[in-house]
Structure 1
Amino acid sequence: MARRAALRVLYLALLPVLVLLALVITPALVVSSVMSQGRVWRPETWKKISYGSRYFRSSFRGRLGEVVDVIDVVRDRLILLFVLLAAACGAGGLAVHALEIGVPAWLSAWLDGSFLSFLASWFPAGGRLSFGGGAALVLAVCTALAALALGLSLYAWLASALGEATRVILRYGGAATLFPDPGDAIPGGRLVLCQISDLHITAGGREPYEIEEGSAAWPEGAPRPDTAELTGRLQRLVAEIAAMKPPLVALTGDMTDLGEEAQWDELEAALSGIPASSQVLMVPGNHDVAINLGTSPDPYLTKRAEREQRFIEVLTRVERGSFQPPLHLPARKRAPRRLRAIAGLYPRRLDLEGGIRIFGLNSNRYRSRFVGSNAIGQIGGAQLRRLARALRRGSGPVIVLLHHHVARLAGPISLNDTFMIAMDGPRLLEMLAAYQQKNPKKNSALVLHGHKHLAFFGHYRSKSGGRVSVYAHPSSTLGHETDGHLDGVARFAAIRLTDDGIWRVETHPLRPARSAVPAPAPAEAEVS
C-alpha cells in the first residue's frame, strides 16, 4: 500500500512536469524546423551539435541577460508599481463601498475553513463588502493576474530560448575551419585597398573599456592608450596610407570604443587626412552599435537605435564613393524605424577598376541587450540573400568586408570562438566558395575582417573544392592580442592583387612615436 501510494504521488508530481516540457519543447521543434528550412534531420547537421552547443550557450546567456534587464527595469520602477497598486486597491475599496456589493456565502465559508480565516471579518456572510474587503479583493485579483502573466512570460521565454538555440545549432552550428597560408612574399600586384580596424577611439582622455576593466593587458613601457595617444596613432597611420594613395580605405568596425558622439567626433578629426582621391568604406563593429556595459543594459534597444542613427550620420560625412544602396538618413522619431534603416544599408557595393567588386556587410544583426552577448555576430539571412543575388549578376575578383570572424583557426575548439565567429559565417564562406569555383582563375574571393585583435592569414576550402582567402586584421591602434596581452604595435594592411588573381596582404606596422616597444618588420603573405 505504501509503495502504491508513493508511486501515485510520484505520477501526480511528474505529470505536470512532463506536460510542461511537452508544451515548451513542441514550439521549439516547430521553430527549429521552420527556421532550418527543412535541414533539421540531415545526418551532417548532427555532427555540428558539439560545436553548435557553444552557440546555444551564448544564445541562452543572451536570453538570461534579457531576463536580468527586465528585473532591472521592474526594480527601477518598483516605487511606481507600489503606488499604482495602492491606488488600485483604494479605488476598489471605494467602489465596492459605494456600490454596496454583497458577500457571496461560498466566499465566507471558504475563508472560514482556510488559512485565510483572519480575513473572514472583511467578508461577513450575507453582509456587504467593506472598504478593506474591496481593497483585498482588488489586491488578490492583481496578484493572480501578475502570476498568470509571469507564468505565460516564462513559458514564452523558455520556448523562444529553446527554439532559438535549436535553430542556431542546426542551421549555423558547424563553424568552418581556416588553414594557414604560407608566408612566402610574392612580388608585384597592384594596390586595391588599405584596411584599418578596431581603432577603439575614446574621448575625454579615457582608455578603451577593455583595458580599463582589465580584460586586456597593455604592454609595460608603452604610452597609455588614452584619447590623445589613440588619435595620434591613427593620424600617423592615415598619413602613411595617404602616401600610398590607395583606391579605397576600408574601416572594418569598432572604430569607436562605446559608440558615443564625442568618440565619433575624435574619429572624424583623425580621419580627415585621408586623401580626396581615395574612396572610403566603413562597416559597423559591435563596439560601434551593440555594446551594452553591465551597468547600462538596453532592454528595449533604444540605446542601440541611437547608436545606429549616429553611425549612419557619420557615414554621410566619412564615406566616399559610388555605393549601392545609397545612404538614407532615417527620422529620429521611432526606434524600430531607425533599426530597420541600417538593416537596409548592407550589403554596400562598390566597383573598383579592373572589375573588382567590394561588398561591405553588417555582422551585428544579433540584437544584444546586455554586455554578455554584445560580441555575438550574425549577418542575417536577408543580407546574405541580397549578397547572393549580387554575386550572380557579375564575375571577377570579390572582397567582402565585415567585422566579425567567419571561421575558426585549425586546432582545438575554444569557448571564445562563440564570441568571435558570426553565427552564419560558414554560410557566407560556402557562398563565396561556390562563386570562386565557377571560374577559379577569375573569381578570386577574399574576406577581410577584424574584431578580436588577432592577425592571421588563412584559407577556407569547401567540400566541392571552392577556395576563399581570409585575412583577420588586429587592432590598428592597440595591436595584436595573445592570451589577453596586446603588443601595442599600431599597423594597417595593404591589399594587393596580382595578375594571376592571387591576393597579397602586406601589414605595415607603425612604431609609436614615444614607445619603447619595438615594432616588427613589415610582413607580406600570399592568401590566395
Structure 2
Amino acid sequence: MTRRVLLRIFYLALPPLFVLLAVILIPVVIASRVGSRGRPWRPEAWRKISYGSRYFRSSFRGRLGDIVEAVDVVREFLLPLLVTLAAVCVLGGLLARFLGLGIPSWAAALPEGSWLSLLPSDVAWLPAGERLGFGSGAALILAACLAVALLGFGISLYTWLAFALGEATRVILRYGGAATLFPDPGDAIPGGRLVLCQISDLHLTAHGREPYEIEEGSASWPEAAPRPDTAELTGRLRRLVAEIAALNPPLVALTGDMTDLGEEAQWAELERALSGVPDSAHVLMVPGNHDVAINLGTSPDPDLKKRAEREQRFIDVLARVERGPFHPPLHAPARKRARRRLRARRRLRAIAALYPRRIELEGGIRVFGLNSNRYLSRFVGSNAIGQLGGGQLRRLARALDAGSGPVVVLLHHHVARLAGPLSLNDTFQIAMDGTRLLELLAAYQQKNPARNSALVLHGHKHLAFFGHYRSKTGGRVSVYAHPSSTLGHETDGHLDGVARFAAVRLTEDGIWRVETHPLRPARDAAASPAAAVAAS
C-alpha cells in the first residue's frame, strides 16, 4: 500500500518537474543562442555561464529580499486586507446559503484520480447533489482567493526568473573579455596646461533622501561624516563648483550619474548647484546609468517607456546646462504634448543622435563625449551594463580621422579592468565594447605618437585609478577612473566620504596628468586652493 502511494505521488510530481525544467531552460537556450549569434559555444563561453550561475544565485537571494520588503509593505495593510477577505468569504457563504447553490457532478468528480483520492474514502470532499452551506461556501471562496494569489505570485516569480536568466546569460555571452589597465605612476609629473575639470557620480537626491544604494545597505557611509542627504550632497557640489571656478578651467566635464534616480526634482537640484560654474567655461555632460537606465527592485521596464521619459528629461536638462560650440548642435526639445505621441523606441533614438558630442579647445585639443548607456536595460540586474554601440564608435572613428592632435574621450562606464584575477563584476561595470574604443584610440595615437596623445575619463564604480592601455601594435591610451565627487572612493562597499574633483592637464611633451583635488573643509573654504595631488 505504501509503495503504491509513493509511486502515485512520484507519477503525479514527475510531469510538473519536466514542465518546470522546460519552461526555465528553453528561454535561456534561446537567449543564449541569440546572444552568441548562432556560433558554437566555446569552452570560455561555458566558463562565462559558470560565472553567471553565481550571479543568478546572488540575484535570487536579492529577489527574496525584495519579497521580504513587499511582505513588510503588505503587513501595514494586513488588517484591512483580512477584513476585506473575511467580508468576501461571508458574502460568498451567505449567497451559497440563501441561493441554494448545489454541487454539480463534474465538480464532485474532480478529486477522482488526483492526490485527494489517496486519502481515506470516508472523507467526502465534494458530495454531488448536495447543497452548499454557509461554511462550505465561505471555505470555497477563501480557497479560490488563495489559489488566485498563489497563481499570481507564481507567474510573477517565473516571469522574473526567466527574464533574469535570459537577459543575464545573453549579456555574459556577448561580453568578449575586457582589456587590462596597468598603473602608470610615470605620468604623475608636475606642470602642464589645465585642459578641463571633471566631476562625476554626484548621485544627487531630492526631498531630503539619501542615495538609494546607501539606504538599502549595498554601500556603507562613514559614521564620522554628515549623512549624505539632499542638503549635504548639494552643499558639497556647490563647494566643489566654487573651487573649480577658482581654477577657471576651459571646460567642466560631468561624466554621468549626476542624479540618483533620474527624477525631475533631482535634476532641478543639479541645475541650481551648477549655477556657480564660471561663464567662461564650457560645460559638457554625458549620461550615466542612474540618469537614464536605472530600474529599481521589482519594477522592470519591458516596453522602455520609463527609460524614454528619463532620456527626454536628460535632453531637456542638457539643453539648459550645456555651454559651448558642440557638434552635433543640440536642438530645442519638442513640446510635451508632441512628445507624448511618440513611441518609446522613436524617443530613444533622440539621445542616440546627440553622441558623440565634440568640441575643440585652444591648442587643437579635441574633447569627445560618448553615451555608454546604449544597452537597453529592462531589468534591475542589467542596470549597470555599459555599451557604446557600433554606430557611435563608427562616428567617433570618422571624427578622429578628420583631424589630429591630443584627444580626450569622456564617458560614464569603465572601458577596461584593472590588472588582477577575473571577476564577474567586470561584466556589469565595464562597457561590453570598451576594448573596441581603446583599440580605436590606440590606432589613432600610433599614427603620430608625438602629437596624438589620447586620454579616457570616466566614473561609474566610485574607483580612483590612473593607468594606461597598450595595444598589441604599440598604441598607448591613458585612462583615468574618477570616484564619486560627492560620496568618495569606494572599497569593498565602504565609501570614504571624501568629496573631490579632478583637474586634467597636458604637458608640452604630450603627457596627460590628472590631479585629484579633495574638498577642503568648510572652514577653509575662503583660503587659497590647496595643492592638488597627482593621480598615480
Superposition TM-score, scaled by structure 2 size: 0.72
Q: Over the residues paired in the alignment, what is the CA RMSD in angstroms?
A: 5.1
User: Is residue 244 of structure 2 the alignment partner of residue 241 of structure 1?
Assistant: yes
Equivalent position of 1:394 in the other structure: 399
Equivalent position of 2:222 in the other structure: 218
Cα 1:479–1:66 shift into 2, 3 Å: closer
Unaligned runs of 5+ in 2: none
Superposed counterparts of 1:404-419, under 5 Å: 404-412=413-421
Work out the CA distance in 2 between the residues paired with 1:23 and 1:257.
36
**How far off its partner does 1:258 sit?**
5.1
User: Is residue 360 of structure 2 the alignment partner of residue 349 of structure 1?
Assistant: no
Deviation digits for residues 109-167 of structure 1 (CA, Å, limit 9, x no counterpart): 6679967975646x518xx9999999998988887777766666555544333322321
Residue number among 456, 460, 467 corresponding to 2:465 in the alignment: 456
Report the 3-state secondary structure (helix = DSSP H, G, I; strand = E; otherwise coil) of the residue aligned with 2:517: strand
User: Is residue 269 of structure 2 the alignment partner of residue 266 of structure 1?
Assistant: yes
Contact persistence 1:281–1:320 (CA under 8 A) = yes
Cα 1:48–1:133 shift into 2, 3 Å: closer
**How far off its partner does 1:434 sit?**
3.8
Contact persistence 2:442–2:471 (CA under 8 A) = no
**How far off its partner does 1:195 sit?**
0.6
**How far off its partner does 1:10 sit?**
6.1
Superposed counterparts of 1:334-483, under 5 Å: 337=343, 341=347, 344-346=350-352, 347-353=355-361, 354=364, 356-363=366-373, 365=375, 367=377, 373=381, 376-380=383-387, 383-395=388-400, 396=404, 398-412=407-421, 421-422=429-430, 425-437=431-443, 440-442=446-448, 444-462=453-471, 467-483=476-492
Equivalent position of 1:326 in the other structure: 330
Work out the CA distance in 2 between the residues paired with 1:481 and 1:4.
61
Equivalent position of 1:28 in the other structure: 28
Report the 3-state secondary structure (helix = DSSP H, G, I; strand = E; otherwise coil) of the residue aligned with 2:26: helix
Percent identity of paired positions between Structure 1 and Structure 2: 63
**How far off its partner does 1:178 sit?**
2.1
Equivalent position of 2:502 in the other structure: 493
Report the 3-state secondary structure (helix = DSSP H, G, I; strand = E; otherwise coil) of the residue aligned with 2:351: coil
**Paired amino acid for 1:285:** G
**Paired amino acid for 1:349:** R
Unaligned runs of 5+ in 1: none
Deviation digits for residues 79-109 of structure 1 (CA, Å, limit 9, x no counterpart): 78997998899899989x99x9997545456
User: Is residue 515 of structure 2 the alignment partner of residue 506 of structure 1?
Assistant: yes
Superposed counterparts of 1:130-279, under 5 Å: 155-172=158-175, 174-186=177-189, 190-202=193-205, 215-218=219-222, 220=224, 230-257=233-260, 259-279=262-282
Superposed counterparts of 1:98-109, under 5 Å: 105-108=105-108
Work out the CA distance in 1 between the residues paired with 2:216 and 2:105.
64
| Count, aligned residues | 509
Work out the CA distance in 1 between the residues paired with 2:227 and 2:524.
10
Cα 1:503–1:111 shift into 2, 3 Å: closer
**Paired amino acid for 2:174:** R
Work out the CA distance in 1 between the residues paired with 2:163 and 2:214.
35
**How far off its partner does 1:358 sit?**
0.5
**Paired amino acid for 1:508:** H
Q: Which moved more, 1:203-212 or 1:307-316?
A: 203-212
Contact persistence 1:436–1:466 (CA under 8 A) = yes
Report the 3-state secondary structure (helix = DSSP H, G, I; strand = E; otherwise coil) of the residue aligned with 1:391: helix
Work out the CA distance in 2 between the residues paired with 1:172 and 1:281.
29
Report the 3-state secondary structure (helix = DSSP H, G, I; strand = E; otherwise coil) of the residue aligned with 1:377: coil
Work out the CA distance in 2 between the residues paired with 1:107 and 1:261.
55
Cα 1:229–1:146 shift into 2, 3 Å: closer
**How far off its partner does 1:267 sit?**
2.6
Deviation digits for residues 454-477 of structure 1 (CA, Å, limit 9, x no counterpart): 211022345665544321112223
Superposition TM-score, scaled by structure 1 size: 0.73
Contact persistence 1:360–1:402 (CA under 8 A) = yes
Contact persistence 1:196–1:493 (CA under 8 A) = yes
**Paired amino acid for 2:505:** R
Contact persistence 1:32–1:40 (CA under 8 A) = no
